[in-house]
Amino acid sequence: MATFKPIVIFVLGGPGAGKGTQCANIVKEFGYVHLSAGDLLREARASGSPDGQLIESYIKEGKIVPVEITIALLRKAMENSGKDKFLIDGFPRNKDNLEGWEREMGDKSIVKFVLFFDCPEETCMERALKRGASSGRTDDNIESFRKRYQTYLTNTVGIIDYYKAKGLVRTISSIPGPEQVFNEVKKLFNDS
């Protein structure tokens, strides 16, 4: 008998592209569990995890935290949810993340597709800096944003390309307003 495997959709895009906003919409309408790797790391840092200082320094520098830390948080959240349909937001961002996922979860889950929010740097920057006025995030400032975007270009774009070659990427422009973007997202989820 085949073992049951949870379904995963990875949600990728530049910093501030609107991943979290659209994931919240998808949760309401399509019943997935939203796991933001960045949120899980920020929570671990805030809860006094022994990795807290390391996480903070990586986030502020826009660098990608070693996968052992991130994947342990994702696995725990998946198990604790008791659910079987996940939106994994902001992961995998680099080769280390991808290899860690394939090693730990490759045969324990099914990656249905990768939802890629395509958004130019200027728009991402505007959104992140505007949010910075109230988010309390230590990386919503111009210096950290530039580093985050550079990390996105040098690391994450290659991961999106890897999944493109497998025919698994669904691209949606997130330049328009959130409602318009969600209309496109809905079409995709209704068809899949």
Residues lying near ligand UP5 in the complex (CB under 6 A): 13, 15-21, 36-38, 41, 58-59, 62-65, 70, 90-91, 93, 97, 127-128, 131, 139, 148, 174, 177-178, 181
> Do 184 and 172 contact (CB within 8 A), yes or no?
yes
| Shortest CB 14 distance to Mg ion, Å | 11
CA distance 52 to 61: 14
CB of 169 to ligand UP5, least distance (A): 16
177 touches which of ligand UP5, Mg ion, none (CB within 5 to 8 A by kind)?
A: ligand UP5
| Residue bearing tokens 């959240």 | 77
For ligand UP5, which residue has the nearest CB? 38
- Asked if 94 contacts 150 with a C-beta cutoff of 8 angstroms, the reply is no
Q: Which does 155 bind (CB under 5 to 8 A by kind): Mg ion, ligand UP5, none?
A: none
Contact between 178 and Mg ion by CB under 5 A: the answer reads no
Question: Which run of H or E residues covers position 10?
Answer: strand 7-13
In whole angstroms, the minimum distance from the beta carbon of 45 to ligand UP5 comes to 10
Q: Which is nearer to ligand UP5, 4 or 188 (CB)?
A: 188
70 vs 111, which CB is nearer to ligand UP5? 70
Cβ atoms of residues 87 and 9 within 8 Å: yes
Instruction: Give dist(CA 24, CA 1) in Å, integer.
Output: 35
- Please, what is the minimum distance in Å from the beta carbon of residue 5 to Mg ion? 26
Question: Nearest 5°: CA angle at 171, between 65 and 152?
Answer: 25
For residue 43, give Cα distances in angstroms to 57, 132, 137.
Answer: 14, 18, 12
**178 interacts with, out of Mg ion, ligand UP5, none, CB within 5 to 8 A per kind:** ligand UP5
Residue with tokens 């569990």, as numbered in its chain: 33
Question: Which residues of this protein are in contact with Mg ion, per CB under 5 A?
Answer: 19-20
